[in-house]
Chain A
Amino acid sequence: MIQTSTKDLHDSGFEKVLNFFRKRSMWMLHYCTGCGAMELPPTMTTRWDMERFGIGPMATPRQADLLLITGYLSIKSLKRVIRTYEQMQDPKWVIGFGSCTINGGIYYDSYTVINRLSDYIPVDLTIEGCMPRPEAIMTGFQTLMDAIQKGEAVGYKKYKENYEWYKKNQDSVLGRTEPVFTSSEVKK
């Protein structure tokens, strides 16, 4: 069980002043293994131009503060995502992009695609849709900015507080030592 909920961790005081500046200058790292990544080029470039909100693409995790997961993650790529996330510096935010990050989407019964991203890393915002249109992405960004301003987007604190819970979930898919089905279940 998650020990500390987002509510207990809300930013207050001086953090809120910082948040005002943080929300207007976000550098986004996009992890594009999912098909939803297709909607990003128009979002970034002239057609929708996300730079007018102060969001720019960044090439390395260490200088980014917004991690965009664009869709399904296989177990192998989940490993890389966790690594990427842990390399990023605080404060950092995660957006789950597309149905696949929420409940597995059309891969809900796949043997190698995870179902809920928020079990493994803290997700501050999800944008539903398969795939979400640039309009939805822009609305999502603005919702996140509002949440940052209000001090509600504190996933990174949640990760630290509940590290054990997240680690347990991560290990349950990454570090399995026994088969999932026992031999009696296989026979049936």
Chain B
Amino acid sequence: MNQKEIIELIDNKFGIVKSNIYDEYQLSVVVKKENIFAALALMQLNDFKELSILTAVDWFDRNVFEVVYILFSYTHNQQLILKTEIERDNPEIVSVMKLWEVAETYERDVHEFFGIKFLGNPSLKPFFLHNWLDMPPMRKDFKTQQYSDKVFGKTKEEREK
């Protein structure tokens, strides 16, 4: 399958929102939230056997989270970036653990750092952060400088007051 065929295949089944070809080996396709699981399953059947990473981007101005799945196929020698956008308030998306079991760890990581809930993932427990009680730190409205000042102190003199 070449890049055009990949895009066509997804478009015929689900109707894509946007697609982009970066170079010979890399392309991205944006689909609707309700189609993402089916699109991933379809691509897995079409030899995109490897989930390289699952991550998220916070588009604060547009008030959406973009969930990004990067797939790789050794047969087609292509890297396929599947994306979908979800609401920023109360973000939820279906887990892809059924397709790739490794997604469990990625989803746990994205849940901790963005607060996105993956429905169907049983292990969304704290992961890297120690005793974290604030909003997820990778969200754009998290003020990291102020947090650092408050927790680790601005200057010695200021704190000893």
Complex formed: what's the CA distance from A166 to B137 in Å? 27
A-B contact count (CB 8 A): 60
Quick one: which of B130, B146, B152 has the most chain A CB within 10 A?
B152
Q: Is the CB of A115 within 8 A of B142?
A: no
Instruction: Decide yes or no whether B20 CB sits under 8 A from chain A.
Output: no
User: Are A111 and B142 also in contact (CB < 8 A) when A104-B148, A116-B152 are?
Assistant: yes
Instruction: Decide yes or no whether B156 CB sits under 8 A from chain A.
Output: yes
Quick one: which of B141, B146, B153 has the most chain A CB within 10 A?
B153
User: Are A112 and B133 also in contact (CB < 8 A) when A1-B160, A104-B152, A172-B151 are?
Assistant: no
Instruction: Decide yes or no whether A180 CB sits under 8 A from chain B.
Output: yes
Instruction: Decide yes or no whether A79 CB sits under 8 A from chain B.
Output: yes
User: Are A114 and B150 also in contact (CB < 8 A) when A109-B144, A109-B145, A180-B133 are?
Assistant: no
Q: Which of B44-62 contact A (CB under 8 A)?
A: none
B134: which of A74, A119, A181 is its contact (CB, 8 Å)?
A181
Chain A positions within 8 Å of B150 at CB level: 180-181
- Interface code A109-125, partner B: CB below 8 Å = 1, 0 otherwise? 11111111001000000
Complex formed: what's the CA distance from A176 to B132 in Å? 8
Specify the chain A residue showing the minimal Cβ separation from B142: A111
Q: Is the CB of A178 within 8 A of B148?
A: no
Chain B positions within 8 Å of A74 at CB level: 130
Complex formed: what's the CA distance from A173 to B147 in Å? 12
Chain B positions within 8 Å of A109 at CB level: 144-145, 148
Instruction: Decide yes or no whether A13 CB sits under 8 A from chain B.
Output: no
Instruction: Decide yes or no whether B2 CB sits under 8 A from chain A.
Output: no
User: Are A178 and B130 also in contact (CB < 8 A) when A104-B152, A108-B148 are?
Assistant: no
Closest chain-B Cβ to A156's Cβ sits at a distance in Å of 21
Complex formed: what's the CA distance from A102 to B43 in Å? 50
Closest chain-B Cβ to A71's Cβ sits at a distance in Å of 15
User: Are A179 and B145 also in contact (CB < 8 A) when A115-B152, A116-B156, A173-B152 are?
Assistant: no
Instruction: Decide yes or no whether A186 CB sits under 8 A from chain B.
Output: yes
Complex formed: what's the CA distance from A172 to B131 in Å? 11
Instruction: Decide yes or no whether B135 CB sits under 8 A from chain A.
Output: yes
Q: Which 10 A-B pairs have the closest CB atoms?
A: A115-B152, A109-B145, A179-B133, A75-B130, A111-B137, A179-B134, A76-B130, A109-B148, A111-B147, A111-B144
A sample of 13 inter-chain contacts (CB < 8 A) reads A1-B160, A74-B130, A104-B152, A110-B144, A110-B148, A111-B137, A111-B142, A115-B152, A119-B153, A172-B151, A174-B130, A177-B133, A181-B135
Given contacts A108-B148, A111-B147, A176-B133, 13 further A-B contacts (CB under 8 A): A74-B130, A75-B131, A111-B137, A111-B142, A112-B130, A113-B152, A175-B131, A176-B131, A178-B133, A179-B133, A179-B134, A180-B147, A181-B147
